[in-house]
Amino acid sequence: QVQLVESGGGVVQPGRSLRLSCAASGFSFSTYALHWVRQAPGKGLEWVAGISSGGRDKYYADSVKGRFTISRDDSKDTLYLQMNSLRLEDTAVYYCGRLGYCVRGSCYYYGMDVWGQGTTVTVSS
């Protein structure tokens, strides 16, 4: 069964750090690009960060650049989001998702077809 499961959310004070994890199963994790998307209370979806298959390329939204770091451990089939210097406006449900795969030098993109169930991050003093 193809699945992504996030963990690591919680309540944290402004300025502190938190690391989210996204464990994958049921597919060839290393071949897929993976992304984080969040939804703040009452707001729309916001793309946060992405990482290519192999981990060489990393991309960030301006709102988190310099504070968040995306990484992956293909030996553990796990995606991470290290969140530092957290702000009140980072409060949201964070989702991981897979978006495209690369095989034998060719890459195929077809939207984020598999998503985790989300983990809630609350930044509050």
Q: What is the CA radius of gyration of the chain?
A: 14
| Residues 51 to 90 in contact with another protein, rule: CB under 8 A | 59
User: Least distance in Å: CB of 111 to another protein?
Assistant: 3
User: Least distance in Å: CB of 13 to another protein?
Assistant: 26
Q: How far apart are CA 84 and CA 95, in angstroms?
A: 18
Contact between 45 and another protein per CB under 8 A: yes
For 111-114, which contacts have Cβ atoms below 8 Å and span 24 or more sequence positions? 112/35, 112/37, 114/2, 114/3, 114/4, 114/27
Closer to another protein by Cβ: residue 14 or 89:
89
Residue from 14, 58, 76, 113 that binds another protein (CB under 8 A)?
A: 113
Residue 37, beta-bridge partner list: 47, 95
Give the residues lining the site for another protein (CB under 8 A).
35, 37, 39, 44-47, 50, 59, 95, 97, 99-100, 109-113, 115-118
